[in-house]
A and B are shown apart, each in its own frame.
Chain A
Amino acid sequence: MRIFDPHVHMTSRTTDDYEAMAASGVKAIVEPAFWLGQPRTSVGSFVDYFSSLIGWERFRAAQFGIRHHCTIGLNPKEANDLAIRDEVLAVLPRYLEKDGVVAVGEIGFDSMTSAEEEAFVEQLAIAREHELPVLVHTPHRDKEAGTRRTLELLEEADFPPGQAVVDHNNELTVGMVLESGCWAGFSIYPFTKMDEHRMVRILEEHGLERMLVNSAADWGISDPLKVAKTVAAMQEAGFSEDDVDRLVWLNPCEFFGQSGRLELEEVEYDRAETFAGSSVLRGERVET
Protein backbone atom coordinates (compact mmCIF):
# COMPACT_ATOMS: atom_id res chain seq x y z
CA MET A 1 0.00 0.00 0.00
CA ARG A 2 1.24 3.48 -0.86
CA ILE A 3 0.09 6.52 1.08
CA PHE A 4 0.34 10.22 0.24
CA ASP A 5 -0.55 12.36 3.28
CA PRO A 6 -1.58 15.66 1.69
CA HIS A 7 -1.50 17.73 4.88
CA VAL A 8 0.94 17.12 7.72
CA HIS A 9 3.15 19.58 9.65
CA MET A 10 6.32 17.55 9.99
CA THR A 11 8.35 20.47 11.34
CA SER A 12 6.57 19.72 14.63
CA ARG A 13 7.17 15.96 14.56
CA THR A 14 10.01 13.64 15.50
CA THR A 15 12.10 11.18 13.54
CA ASP A 16 10.13 8.40 15.32
CA ASP A 17 7.07 9.76 13.52
CA TYR A 18 8.85 9.69 10.17
CA GLU A 19 9.91 6.12 10.85
CA ALA A 20 6.37 5.02 11.80
CA MET A 21 4.86 6.84 8.82
CA ALA A 22 7.27 5.17 6.40
CA ALA A 23 6.45 1.78 7.97
CA SER A 24 2.71 2.47 7.52
CA GLY A 25 3.22 3.03 3.78
CA VAL A 26 3.68 6.81 3.57
CA LYS A 27 5.84 7.63 0.54
CA ALA A 28 4.90 11.26 -0.09
CA ILE A 29 3.60 14.19 1.93
CA VAL A 30 2.63 17.83 1.60
CA GLU A 31 3.49 20.13 4.50
CA PRO A 32 1.42 23.32 4.40
CA ALA A 33 2.88 26.48 5.85
CA PHE A 34 0.81 27.37 8.90
CA TRP A 35 1.15 29.13 12.22
CA LEU A 36 3.40 27.76 14.91
CA GLY A 37 1.17 27.89 17.99
CA GLN A 38 2.29 31.36 18.92
CA PRO A 39 2.45 34.45 16.75
CA ARG A 40 5.63 35.44 14.94
CA THR A 41 6.80 38.99 15.45
CA SER A 42 8.75 39.67 12.27
CA VAL A 43 8.82 38.75 8.61
CA GLY A 44 12.25 37.18 9.16
CA SER A 45 10.67 34.37 11.18
CA PHE A 46 8.41 33.58 8.22
CA VAL A 47 11.34 33.64 5.82
CA ASP A 48 13.33 31.19 7.96
CA TYR A 49 10.24 28.95 8.29
CA PHE A 50 9.63 28.94 4.53
CA SER A 51 13.32 28.18 3.97
CA SER A 52 13.15 25.23 6.35
CA LEU A 53 10.08 23.86 4.52
CA ILE A 54 11.94 23.81 1.21
CA GLY A 55 15.29 22.82 2.72
CA TRP A 56 15.96 21.04 5.98
CA GLU A 57 12.51 19.42 6.35
CA ARG A 58 12.59 18.05 2.79
CA PHE A 59 16.03 16.63 3.51
CA ARG A 60 14.88 15.11 6.81
CA ALA A 61 11.88 13.39 5.15
CA ALA A 62 14.12 11.99 2.41
CA GLN A 63 16.23 10.27 5.06
CA PHE A 64 13.16 8.09 5.74
CA GLY A 65 12.36 7.46 2.08
CA ILE A 66 9.54 10.03 2.06
CA ARG A 67 9.09 12.67 -0.66
CA HIS A 68 8.35 16.00 1.00
CA HIS A 69 6.54 18.87 -0.72
CA CYS A 70 5.12 22.01 0.81
CA THR A 71 2.67 24.83 0.35
CA ILE A 72 3.68 28.42 1.05
CA GLY A 73 1.33 31.16 2.19
CA LEU A 74 0.26 33.54 4.93
CA ASN A 75 -2.03 31.62 7.31
CA PRO A 76 -5.40 33.11 8.35
CA LYS A 77 -4.52 33.62 12.03
CA GLU A 78 -1.45 35.74 11.32
CA ALA A 79 -3.14 37.52 8.42
CA ASN A 80 -4.73 39.55 11.21
CA ASP A 81 -1.37 41.04 12.18
CA LEU A 82 -1.44 44.02 9.88
CA ALA A 83 2.12 45.07 10.72
CA ILE A 84 3.52 41.84 9.30
CA ARG A 85 0.95 40.91 6.68
CA ASP A 86 2.15 43.07 3.82
CA GLU A 87 5.79 42.16 4.33
CA VAL A 88 4.97 38.43 4.24
CA LEU A 89 2.79 38.81 1.15
CA ALA A 90 5.66 40.69 -0.52
CA VAL A 91 8.15 37.83 -0.08
CA LEU A 92 5.74 35.10 -1.23
CA PRO A 93 6.60 35.36 -4.95
CA ARG A 94 10.23 34.54 -4.15
CA TYR A 95 9.19 31.31 -2.41
CA LEU A 96 6.30 30.22 -4.62
CA GLU A 97 8.68 29.47 -7.50
CA LYS A 98 10.90 27.13 -5.46
CA ASP A 99 11.11 23.45 -6.29
CA GLY A 100 8.69 21.27 -4.34
CA VAL A 101 6.21 24.09 -3.65
CA VAL A 102 2.94 22.57 -4.86
CA ALA A 103 0.28 25.07 -3.76
CA VAL A 104 -0.43 28.36 -2.02
CA GLY A 105 -1.60 27.65 1.52
CA GLU A 106 -2.86 27.39 4.13
CA ILE A 107 -5.02 30.40 3.39
CA GLY A 108 -8.66 31.14 4.26
CA PHE A 109 -10.58 31.94 7.43
CA ASP A 110 -9.91 31.55 11.13
CA SER A 111 -12.09 34.19 12.80
CA MET A 112 -13.81 35.47 9.67
CA THR A 113 -12.32 38.97 9.90
CA SER A 114 -12.04 41.41 7.02
CA ALA A 115 -8.23 41.22 7.30
CA GLU A 116 -8.42 37.46 6.77
CA GLU A 117 -10.71 37.96 3.79
CA GLU A 118 -8.35 40.48 2.19
CA ALA A 119 -5.33 38.24 2.62
CA PHE A 120 -7.29 35.28 1.23
CA VAL A 121 -8.44 37.15 -1.88
CA GLU A 122 -4.99 38.59 -2.49
CA GLN A 123 -3.38 35.16 -2.22
CA LEU A 124 -5.90 33.69 -4.67
CA ALA A 125 -4.62 36.23 -7.19
CA ILE A 126 -1.00 35.41 -6.33
CA ALA A 127 -1.75 31.70 -6.85
CA ARG A 128 -3.09 32.43 -10.33
CA GLU A 129 0.08 34.36 -11.20
CA HIS A 130 2.24 31.41 -10.19
CA GLU A 131 -0.14 28.85 -11.75
CA LEU A 132 -0.51 27.03 -8.44
CA PRO A 133 -3.49 25.37 -6.75
CA VAL A 134 -4.61 26.59 -3.31
CA LEU A 135 -5.04 24.78 0.00
CA VAL A 136 -7.81 26.46 1.98
CA HIS A 137 -8.20 26.14 5.74
CA THR A 138 -11.73 26.38 7.17
CA PRO A 139 -12.47 27.71 10.66
CA HIS A 140 -13.05 25.50 13.70
CA ARG A 141 -15.78 27.84 14.94
CA ASP A 142 -18.87 28.51 12.84
CA LYS A 143 -17.50 26.13 10.22
CA GLU A 144 -20.56 26.06 7.99
CA ALA A 145 -20.74 29.82 7.57
CA GLY A 146 -16.97 30.03 7.09
CA THR A 147 -17.02 27.34 4.44
CA ARG A 148 -19.91 28.99 2.62
CA ARG A 149 -18.11 32.36 2.57
CA THR A 150 -14.93 30.63 1.39
CA LEU A 151 -16.76 29.11 -1.58
CA GLU A 152 -18.37 32.45 -2.42
CA LEU A 153 -15.00 34.18 -2.48
CA LEU A 154 -13.48 31.48 -4.67
CA GLU A 155 -16.32 31.96 -7.11
CA GLU A 156 -16.14 35.77 -7.02
CA ALA A 157 -12.40 35.52 -7.76
CA ASP A 158 -13.25 33.20 -10.66
CA PHE A 159 -10.76 30.72 -9.22
CA PRO A 160 -10.89 27.34 -11.04
CA PRO A 161 -12.64 25.11 -8.46
CA GLY A 162 -10.67 22.03 -9.52
CA GLN A 163 -7.52 23.79 -8.32
CA ALA A 164 -8.80 24.50 -4.81
CA VAL A 165 -8.93 22.06 -1.92
CA VAL A 166 -11.16 23.20 0.93
CA ASP A 167 -9.87 21.42 4.01
CA HIS A 168 -11.08 20.22 7.43
CA ASN A 169 -14.59 19.28 6.26
CA ASN A 170 -17.26 17.47 8.24
CA GLU A 171 -20.68 15.93 7.56
CA LEU A 172 -22.30 19.35 7.27
CA THR A 173 -19.83 21.02 4.87
CA VAL A 174 -18.84 18.22 2.47
CA GLY A 175 -21.96 18.55 0.31
CA MET A 176 -21.53 22.22 -0.57
CA VAL A 177 -17.79 21.85 -1.21
CA LEU A 178 -18.22 18.97 -3.65
CA GLU A 179 -21.11 20.74 -5.33
CA SER A 180 -18.92 23.79 -5.93
CA GLY A 181 -16.46 21.68 -7.91
CA CYS A 182 -13.70 22.13 -5.33
CA TRP A 183 -11.81 19.26 -3.73
CA ALA A 184 -12.81 18.30 -0.19
CA GLY A 185 -10.12 17.62 2.42
CA PHE A 186 -10.70 15.79 5.72
CA SER A 187 -8.37 15.97 8.69
CA ILE A 188 -8.64 12.84 10.79
CA TYR A 189 -7.89 13.65 14.43
CA PRO A 190 -7.77 11.55 17.61
CA PHE A 191 -10.63 13.35 19.39
CA THR A 192 -11.93 16.29 17.37
CA LYS A 193 -12.81 17.38 13.83
CA MET A 194 -13.30 13.97 12.23
CA ASP A 195 -12.49 10.33 13.03
CA GLU A 196 -11.82 7.46 10.65
CA HIS A 197 -15.18 5.74 11.15
CA ARG A 198 -17.16 8.89 10.44
CA MET A 199 -14.87 9.35 7.43
CA VAL A 200 -15.84 5.94 6.08
CA ARG A 201 -19.54 6.83 6.36
CA ILE A 202 -18.89 10.06 4.43
CA LEU A 203 -17.06 8.13 1.71
CA GLU A 204 -19.94 5.65 1.49
CA GLU A 205 -22.35 8.52 1.03
CA HIS A 206 -20.33 10.89 -1.20
CA GLY A 207 -17.92 8.62 -3.08
CA LEU A 208 -14.20 9.07 -3.67
CA GLU A 209 -14.07 11.70 -6.36
CA ARG A 210 -12.24 14.92 -5.35
CA MET A 211 -11.79 13.61 -1.80
CA LEU A 212 -8.55 13.94 0.20
CA VAL A 213 -7.83 12.44 3.60
CA ASN A 214 -5.01 13.77 5.80
CA SER A 215 -3.67 13.53 9.33
CA ALA A 216 -2.99 17.28 9.68
CA ALA A 217 -0.61 16.18 12.44
CA ASP A 218 1.14 19.14 14.04
CA TRP A 219 2.30 20.33 17.48
CA GLY A 220 -1.09 19.59 19.03
CA ILE A 221 -2.65 16.26 19.99
CA SER A 222 -2.72 14.56 16.62
CA ASP A 223 -1.63 11.32 14.98
CA PRO A 224 0.55 11.12 11.85
CA LEU A 225 -0.74 7.57 11.23
CA LYS A 226 -4.36 8.63 10.80
CA VAL A 227 -4.34 8.13 7.04
CA ALA A 228 -3.23 4.50 7.50
CA LYS A 229 -5.90 4.07 10.20
CA THR A 230 -8.54 5.42 7.81
CA VAL A 231 -7.37 2.86 5.27
CA ALA A 232 -7.86 0.10 7.85
CA ALA A 233 -11.39 1.36 8.56
CA MET A 234 -12.12 1.43 4.81
CA GLN A 235 -10.91 -2.14 4.39
CA GLU A 236 -13.07 -3.24 7.30
CA ALA A 237 -16.06 -1.59 5.64
CA GLY A 238 -15.43 -3.47 2.39
CA PHE A 239 -13.73 -0.85 0.19
CA SER A 240 -11.48 -2.46 -2.45
CA GLU A 241 -7.70 -2.01 -2.72
CA ASP A 242 -8.30 0.12 -5.82
CA ASP A 243 -10.65 2.39 -3.87
CA VAL A 244 -8.04 2.78 -1.15
CA ASP A 245 -5.27 3.51 -3.64
CA ARG A 246 -7.43 6.08 -5.36
CA LEU A 247 -8.21 7.93 -2.13
CA VAL A 248 -4.81 7.93 -0.43
CA TRP A 249 -2.52 8.02 -3.45
CA LEU A 250 -4.04 8.85 -6.84
CA ASN A 251 -6.27 11.67 -5.58
CA PRO A 252 -3.51 13.71 -3.90
CA CYS A 253 -1.25 13.02 -6.91
CA GLU A 254 -3.95 14.36 -9.21
CA PHE A 255 -4.67 17.46 -7.14
CA PHE A 256 -1.12 18.54 -6.35
CA GLY A 257 0.12 17.27 -9.72
CA GLN A 258 -1.58 20.36 -11.15
CA SER A 259 1.43 22.31 -9.90
CA GLY A 260 3.70 20.31 -12.22
CA ARG A 261 6.14 20.04 -9.32
CA LEU A 262 5.46 16.69 -7.62
CA GLU A 263 8.49 14.46 -7.41
CA LEU A 264 7.39 10.91 -6.76
CA GLU A 265 10.22 8.64 -7.81
CA GLU A 266 11.64 6.49 -5.00
CA VAL A 267 14.06 8.38 -2.78
CA GLU A 268 17.57 7.03 -2.59
CA TYR A 269 18.95 8.00 0.75
CA ASP A 270 21.96 7.63 2.98
CA ARG A 271 21.53 8.81 6.55
CA ALA A 272 25.15 9.93 6.77
CA GLU A 273 24.33 12.49 4.08
CA THR A 274 24.18 16.09 5.18
CA PHE A 275 22.08 19.14 4.45
CA ALA A 276 24.00 22.38 4.87
CA GLY A 277 26.55 20.29 6.70
CA SER A 278 24.03 18.84 9.21
CA SER A 279 22.79 15.26 9.30
CA VAL A 280 19.93 13.47 11.07
CA LEU A 281 22.52 11.35 12.85
CA ARG A 282 23.68 12.49 16.25
CA GLY A 283 27.33 11.91 17.08
CA GLU A 284 29.56 9.25 15.64
CA ARG A 285 27.81 6.63 13.58
CA VAL A 286 27.80 3.11 15.03
CA GLU A 287 29.03 0.69 12.37
CA THR A 288 26.66 -2.22 11.87
Chain B
Amino acid sequence: MIATEELLWEQVRTRATPEQVSWLEDAVASVLGEPESIRRLFPAVGRRAGRAPLDPAADPADVHAWTVDDAGRTLLLLALGDDAGAELDELYRHGDTAERRGILRALPYLPVGDAGVALVEDAVRTNELGLIAAALGPYAFARLDDDAVAQAVLKCVFVGIPLGGLDGLGPRITPHVSRMLAAFVHERVAAGRTVPADVWPVIDRFPPEDELSEIQAELDNPVAERREAARAALALRNQRST
Protein backbone atom coordinates (compact mmCIF):
# COMPACT_ATOMS: atom_id res chain seq x y z
CA MET B 1 0.00 0.00 0.00
CA ILE B 2 2.88 2.35 0.77
CA ALA B 3 4.04 1.97 -2.81
CA THR B 4 0.59 2.87 -4.16
CA GLU B 5 0.33 5.97 -2.00
CA GLU B 6 3.79 7.21 -2.92
CA LEU B 7 3.23 6.59 -6.60
CA LEU B 8 -0.12 8.38 -6.60
CA TRP B 9 1.28 11.39 -4.72
CA GLU B 10 4.17 11.58 -7.15
CA GLN B 11 1.82 11.58 -10.15
CA VAL B 12 -0.58 14.07 -8.57
CA ARG B 13 2.29 16.43 -7.78
CA THR B 14 3.43 16.48 -11.40
CA ARG B 15 -0.10 17.04 -12.73
CA ALA B 16 -1.74 19.41 -10.21
CA THR B 17 -0.93 22.99 -9.22
CA PRO B 18 0.71 23.63 -5.82
CA GLU B 19 -2.62 25.00 -4.61
CA GLN B 20 -4.44 21.83 -5.68
CA VAL B 21 -1.79 19.62 -4.09
CA SER B 22 -1.96 21.51 -0.83
CA TRP B 23 -5.78 21.22 -0.75
CA LEU B 24 -5.40 17.45 -1.17
CA GLU B 25 -2.71 17.25 1.53
CA ASP B 26 -4.99 19.11 3.95
CA ALA B 27 -7.93 16.88 2.98
CA VAL B 28 -5.94 13.70 3.64
CA ALA B 29 -4.74 15.11 6.99
CA SER B 30 -8.34 15.92 7.86
CA VAL B 31 -9.54 12.37 7.10
CA LEU B 32 -6.66 10.90 9.13
CA GLY B 33 -7.78 13.01 12.10
CA GLU B 34 -11.53 12.76 11.59
CA PRO B 35 -12.66 9.94 9.28
CA GLU B 36 -16.22 11.33 8.89
CA SER B 37 -14.84 14.45 7.20
CA ILE B 38 -14.44 12.35 4.04
CA ARG B 39 -18.21 12.74 3.54
CA ARG B 40 -17.90 16.43 2.66
CA LEU B 41 -14.38 16.30 1.16
CA PHE B 42 -14.98 13.43 -1.27
CA PRO B 43 -17.44 15.31 -3.56
CA ALA B 44 -15.15 18.36 -3.78
CA VAL B 45 -12.01 16.56 -5.02
CA GLY B 46 -12.53 17.25 -8.73
CA ARG B 47 -13.20 20.94 -8.20
CA ARG B 48 -10.36 21.45 -5.73
CA ALA B 49 -7.64 19.12 -6.99
CA GLY B 50 -8.39 18.92 -10.72
CA ARG B 51 -9.73 16.36 -13.18
CA ALA B 52 -7.05 16.05 -15.86
CA PRO B 53 -5.75 12.64 -16.93
CA LEU B 54 -3.10 11.48 -14.46
CA ASP B 55 -0.83 10.44 -17.31
CA PRO B 56 -0.14 13.55 -19.42
CA ALA B 57 0.16 11.35 -22.51
CA ALA B 58 -3.26 9.77 -21.98
CA ASP B 59 -6.19 10.53 -24.27
CA PRO B 60 -8.80 12.38 -22.15
CA ALA B 61 -11.48 10.26 -23.85
CA ASP B 62 -9.83 6.98 -22.77
CA VAL B 63 -12.25 5.40 -20.29
CA HIS B 64 -9.44 3.39 -18.74
CA ALA B 65 -7.19 6.36 -17.97
CA TRP B 66 -6.97 7.45 -14.33
CA THR B 67 -7.62 11.12 -13.63
CA VAL B 68 -6.21 13.40 -10.94
CA ASP B 69 -9.51 13.24 -9.04
CA ASP B 70 -9.48 9.42 -9.20
CA ALA B 71 -6.03 9.51 -7.58
CA GLY B 72 -7.13 12.14 -5.05
CA ARG B 73 -10.17 10.11 -4.04
CA THR B 74 -8.06 6.96 -3.74
CA LEU B 75 -5.69 8.82 -1.40
CA LEU B 76 -8.62 9.96 0.75
CA LEU B 77 -9.97 6.41 0.94
CA LEU B 78 -6.52 5.06 1.83
CA ALA B 79 -6.40 7.62 4.66
CA LEU B 80 -9.48 5.93 6.15
CA GLY B 81 -7.43 2.80 6.76
CA ASP B 82 -9.59 0.11 8.32
CA ASP B 83 -12.58 2.50 8.42
CA ALA B 84 -12.81 2.41 4.62
CA GLY B 85 -15.23 -0.51 4.61
CA ALA B 86 -17.66 1.35 6.88
CA GLU B 87 -17.83 4.46 4.67
CA LEU B 88 -17.76 2.80 1.26
CA ASP B 89 -21.45 2.07 0.68
CA GLU B 90 -22.72 5.51 1.71
CA LEU B 91 -20.02 7.33 -0.27
CA TYR B 92 -21.00 5.33 -3.32
CA ARG B 93 -24.74 5.77 -2.78
CA HIS B 94 -24.46 9.56 -2.44
CA GLY B 95 -21.73 9.89 -5.04
CA ASP B 96 -22.03 11.39 -8.52
CA THR B 97 -20.46 9.60 -11.48
CA ALA B 98 -16.94 10.87 -10.79
CA GLU B 99 -17.12 9.98 -7.10
CA ARG B 100 -18.34 6.47 -7.89
CA ARG B 101 -15.59 6.04 -10.46
CA GLY B 102 -13.01 7.08 -7.85
CA ILE B 103 -14.28 4.46 -5.40
CA LEU B 104 -14.22 1.71 -8.02
CA ARG B 105 -10.68 2.58 -9.07
CA ALA B 106 -9.51 2.56 -5.45
CA LEU B 107 -10.98 -0.86 -4.57
CA PRO B 108 -7.88 -2.99 -5.29
CA TYR B 109 -5.85 -0.87 -2.85
CA LEU B 110 -8.30 -0.75 0.08
CA PRO B 111 -8.49 -3.14 3.04
CA VAL B 112 -12.18 -3.87 2.42
CA GLY B 113 -12.18 -7.55 1.49
CA ASP B 114 -15.28 -8.40 -0.52
CA ALA B 115 -17.23 -5.32 0.65
CA GLY B 116 -16.82 -3.68 -2.75
CA VAL B 117 -18.22 -6.53 -4.86
CA ALA B 118 -21.79 -5.20 -4.67
CA LEU B 119 -20.54 -1.82 -5.92
CA VAL B 120 -18.75 -3.47 -8.84
CA GLU B 121 -21.92 -5.34 -9.72
CA ASP B 122 -23.96 -2.12 -9.52
CA ALA B 123 -21.51 -0.27 -11.78
CA VAL B 124 -21.50 -3.03 -14.39
CA ARG B 125 -25.32 -2.86 -14.50
CA THR B 126 -25.22 0.84 -15.54
CA ASN B 127 -24.66 2.08 -19.05
CA GLU B 128 -21.99 4.57 -18.01
CA LEU B 129 -18.78 3.67 -19.78
CA GLY B 130 -16.54 5.33 -17.19
CA LEU B 131 -18.12 3.37 -14.37
CA ILE B 132 -18.08 0.03 -16.14
CA ALA B 133 -14.44 0.48 -17.12
CA ALA B 134 -13.42 1.54 -13.61
CA ALA B 135 -15.29 -1.38 -12.05
CA LEU B 136 -13.60 -4.00 -14.22
CA GLY B 137 -10.08 -4.00 -12.80
CA PRO B 138 -7.95 -6.35 -10.70
CA TYR B 139 -10.40 -6.19 -7.79
CA ALA B 140 -13.33 -7.40 -9.89
CA PHE B 141 -11.34 -10.01 -11.80
CA ALA B 142 -10.10 -11.50 -8.53
CA ARG B 143 -13.66 -11.90 -7.22
CA LEU B 144 -16.35 -12.20 -9.91
CA ASP B 145 -17.32 -15.73 -10.92
CA ASP B 146 -16.80 -17.01 -14.47
CA ASP B 147 -20.31 -16.19 -15.61
CA ALA B 148 -20.15 -12.65 -14.28
CA VAL B 149 -16.77 -12.12 -15.99
CA ALA B 150 -18.16 -13.44 -19.28
CA GLN B 151 -21.21 -11.16 -19.11
CA ALA B 152 -19.06 -8.17 -18.17
CA VAL B 153 -16.70 -8.72 -21.11
CA LEU B 154 -19.62 -9.04 -23.49
CA LYS B 155 -21.14 -5.85 -22.11
CA CYS B 156 -17.85 -4.02 -22.72
CA VAL B 157 -17.90 -5.13 -26.33
CA PHE B 158 -21.51 -3.97 -26.75
CA VAL B 159 -21.02 -0.52 -25.22
CA GLY B 160 -17.61 0.05 -26.84
CA ILE B 161 -15.16 -0.27 -23.97
CA PRO B 162 -11.74 -1.41 -25.27
CA LEU B 163 -10.98 -4.90 -23.92
CA GLY B 164 -7.24 -4.28 -24.01
CA GLY B 165 -7.56 -1.89 -21.07
CA LEU B 166 -9.21 -4.43 -18.74
CA ASP B 167 -6.44 -4.97 -16.22
CA GLY B 168 -6.57 -8.53 -14.87
CA LEU B 169 -8.84 -10.02 -17.54
CA GLY B 170 -6.15 -12.26 -19.11
CA PRO B 171 -6.16 -15.16 -16.63
CA ARG B 172 -9.98 -15.03 -16.40
CA ILE B 173 -10.63 -15.72 -20.08
CA THR B 174 -12.37 -19.09 -20.39
CA PRO B 175 -13.44 -21.10 -23.46
CA HIS B 176 -16.93 -19.78 -22.67
CA VAL B 177 -15.75 -16.14 -23.02
CA SER B 178 -13.93 -16.92 -26.27
CA ARG B 179 -17.02 -18.62 -27.66
CA MET B 180 -19.39 -15.80 -26.65
CA LEU B 181 -17.21 -13.23 -28.39
CA ALA B 182 -16.95 -15.36 -31.51
CA ALA B 183 -20.73 -15.67 -31.54
CA PHE B 184 -20.90 -11.89 -31.17
CA VAL B 185 -18.63 -11.48 -34.20
CA HIS B 186 -20.78 -13.87 -36.22
CA GLU B 187 -23.92 -11.96 -35.27
CA ARG B 188 -22.35 -8.64 -36.28
CA VAL B 189 -21.06 -10.03 -39.57
CA ALA B 190 -24.49 -11.49 -40.39
CA ALA B 191 -25.91 -8.00 -39.83
CA GLY B 192 -23.30 -6.54 -42.18
CA ARG B 193 -21.69 -4.57 -39.35
CA THR B 194 -18.13 -4.05 -38.14
CA VAL B 195 -16.43 -5.50 -35.06
CA PRO B 196 -13.70 -4.02 -32.85
CA ALA B 197 -10.22 -5.49 -33.42
CA ASP B 198 -9.66 -6.21 -29.73
CA VAL B 199 -12.15 -9.10 -29.61
CA TRP B 200 -9.70 -11.35 -31.50
CA PRO B 201 -7.01 -11.85 -28.82
CA VAL B 202 -9.79 -12.98 -26.48
CA ILE B 203 -11.40 -15.27 -29.07
CA ASP B 204 -8.04 -16.76 -30.01
CA ARG B 205 -7.19 -17.68 -26.44
CA PHE B 206 -9.51 -20.73 -26.86
CA PRO B 207 -10.44 -20.68 -30.57
CA PRO B 208 -14.01 -22.02 -30.87
CA GLU B 209 -14.00 -24.10 -34.06
CA ASP B 210 -17.76 -24.07 -34.77
CA GLU B 211 -18.21 -20.32 -34.48
CA LEU B 212 -15.03 -19.59 -36.42
CA SER B 213 -16.06 -21.79 -39.32
CA GLU B 214 -19.46 -20.06 -39.36
CA ILE B 215 -17.73 -16.69 -39.63
CA GLN B 216 -15.50 -18.16 -42.37
CA ALA B 217 -18.61 -19.37 -44.25
CA GLU B 218 -19.95 -15.79 -44.30
CA LEU B 219 -17.23 -15.05 -46.89
CA ASP B 220 -19.37 -16.96 -49.41
CA ASN B 221 -22.74 -15.60 -48.31
CA PRO B 222 -25.02 -14.50 -51.18
CA VAL B 223 -25.53 -11.11 -49.49
CA ALA B 224 -22.72 -8.73 -50.44
CA GLU B 225 -22.75 -6.81 -47.13
CA ARG B 226 -22.28 -10.04 -45.19
CA ARG B 227 -19.37 -11.12 -47.40
CA GLU B 228 -17.79 -7.67 -46.96
CA ALA B 229 -18.33 -7.65 -43.19
CA ALA B 230 -16.77 -11.12 -42.90
CA ARG B 231 -13.75 -10.03 -44.92
CA ALA B 232 -13.30 -6.95 -42.72
CA ALA B 233 -13.66 -8.91 -39.46
CA LEU B 234 -11.27 -11.66 -40.50
CA ALA B 235 -8.77 -9.13 -41.83
CA LEU B 236 -8.54 -7.69 -38.30
CA ARG B 237 -7.76 -11.18 -37.03
CA ASN B 238 -5.08 -11.77 -39.62
CA GLN B 239 -3.51 -8.35 -39.05
CA ARG B 240 -2.98 -9.39 -35.49
CA SER B 241 -1.36 -12.70 -36.29
CA THR B 242 1.03 -11.23 -38.88
**A residues at B contact (CB < 8 Å):** 47, 51, 54-55, 91, 93-99, 130, 261, 274, 276-278
In the assembled complex, how far is the CB of residue B133 from the closest CB belonging to chain A, in whole angstroms? 14
In the complex, which of the residues A93, A130, A261 contacts B39, with contact meaning CB atoms closer than 8 Å?
A93
Q: How far is the CA of A99 from the CA of B43 in the complex (A)?
A: 8
Q: How far is the CA of A271 from the CA of B88 in the complex (A)?
A: 34
Inter-subunit contact A277/B40 (CB<8 Å): no
Q: Knowing A96-B40, A99-B46 touch, does A54 contact B128 (C-beta < 8 A)? A: no
Q: Knowing A54-B96, A55-B96, A91-B94 touch, does A97 contact B43 (C-beta < 8 A)? A: yes
User: Which residues of the partner chain B approach A54 to less than 8 Å between Cβ atoms?
Assistant: 96
**B residues at A contact (CB < 8 Å):** 39-44, 46-47, 93-94, 96-97, 126-128
User: Which residues of the partner chain A approach B96 to less than 8 Å between Cβ atoms?
Assistant: 51, 54-55, 98-99
User: Which residues of the partner chain B approach A93 to less than 8 Å between Cβ atoms?
Assistant: 39-40
In the assembled complex, how far is the CB of residue B32 from the closest CB belonging to chain A, in whole angstroms? 19
**Complex: chain B residue closest to A58, CB-CB:** B96
The interface residues of chain B, by DSSP majority, are classed as helix
Q: How far is the CA of A93 from the CA of B44 in the complex (A)?
A: 11
In the assembled complex, how far is the CB of residue B122 from the closest CB belonging to chain A, in whole angstroms? 12
User: Which residues of the partner chain B approach A99 to less than 8 Å between Cβ atoms?
Assistant: 43, 46-47, 96
Q: Knowing A51-B96, A95-B94, A98-B96 touch, does A277 contact B128 (C-beta < 8 A)? A: yes
In the assembled complex, how far is the CB of residue A244 from the closest CB belonging to chain B, in whole angstroms? 32
User: Which residues of the partner chain A approach B47 to less than 8 Å between Cβ atoms?
Assistant: 99, 261
Q: How far is the CA of A117 from the CA of B77 in the complex (A)?
A: 37
Q: How far is the CA of A95 from the CA of B95 in the complex (A)?
A: 9
User: Which residues of the partner chain A approach B40 to less than 8 Å between Cβ atoms?
Assistant: 93-94, 96-97, 130
User: Which residues of the partner chain A approach B39 to less than 8 Å between Cβ atoms?
Assistant: 93-94
Inter-subunit contact B128/A97 (CB<8 Å): no
User: Which residues of the partner chain B approach A130 to less than 8 Å between Cβ atoms?
Assistant: 40
Q: How far is the CA of A41 from the CA of B96 in the complex (A)?
A: 23
Q: How far is the CA of A51 from the CA of B93 in the complex (A)?
A: 10
Inter-subunit contact B94/A47 (CB<8 Å): yes
Q: How far is the CA of A174 from the CA of B83 in the complex (A)?
A: 51
Q: How far is the CA of A130 from the CA of B41 in the complex (A)?
A: 11
In the assembled complex, how far is the CB of residue B166 from the closest CB belonging to chain A, in whole angstroms? 19
Q: How far is the CA of A94 from the CA of B39 in the complex (A)?
A: 6
User: Which residues of the partner chain B approach A276 to less than 8 Å between Cβ atoms?
Assistant: 97, 126-128
**Complex: chain B residue closest to A44, CB-CB:** B93
12 A-B pairs in the complex with CB atoms less than 8 angstroms apart: A47-B93, A51-B94, A54-B96, A93-B39, A94-B40, A95-B94, A96-B40, A97-B44, A98-B96, A99-B47, A276-B128, A277-B127
User: Which residues of the partner chain A approach B93 to less than 8 Å between Cβ atoms?
Assistant: 47
**Complex: chain A residue closest to B45, CB-CB:** A97
Q: How far is the CA of A224 from the CA of B46 in the complex (A)?
A: 32
**Complex: chain A residue closest to B159, CB-CB:** A277
User: Which residues of the partner chain B approach A278 to less than 8 Å between Cβ atoms?
Assistant: 127
Inter-subunit contact A94/B126 (CB<8 Å): no
Q: How far is the CA of A51 from the CA of B97 in the complex (A)?
A: 10
Given A98-B96, A261-B47, A278-B127: 6 more A-B contacts, CB < 8 Å: A54-B96, A94-B40, A96-B40, A97-B40, A99-B46, A277-B127
User: Which residues of the partner chain B approach A94 to less than 8 Å between Cβ atoms?
Assistant: 39-40, 43, 94
User: Which residues of the partner chain A approach B44 to less than 8 Å between Cβ atoms?
Assistant: 97
In the assembled complex, how far is the CB of residue B34 from the closest CB belonging to chain A, in whole angstroms? 13
Q: How far is the CA of A91 from the CA of B46 in the complex (A)?
A: 20
In the assembled complex, how far is the CB of residue A86 from the closest CB belonging to chain B, in whole angstroms? 16
Most buried by A among B43, B97, B128: B43
Q: How far is the CA of A50 from the CA of B94 in the complex (A)?
A: 9
**Complex: chain A residue closest to B93, CB-CB:** A47
Q: How far is the CA of A274 from the CA of B127 in the complex (A)?
A: 9
Inter-subunit contact B127/A98 (CB<8 Å): no
User: Which residues of the partner chain B approach A55 to less than 8 Å between Cβ atoms?
Assistant: 96-97
Q: Knowing A51-B96, A54-B96 touch, does A98 contact B43 (C-beta < 8 A)? A: yes
User: Which residues of the partner chain B approach A51 to less than 8 Å between Cβ atoms?
Assistant: 94, 96
Q: How far is the CA of A47 from the CA of B40 in the complex (A)?
A: 15
Q: How far is the CA of A261 from the CA of B47 in the complex (A)?
A: 9
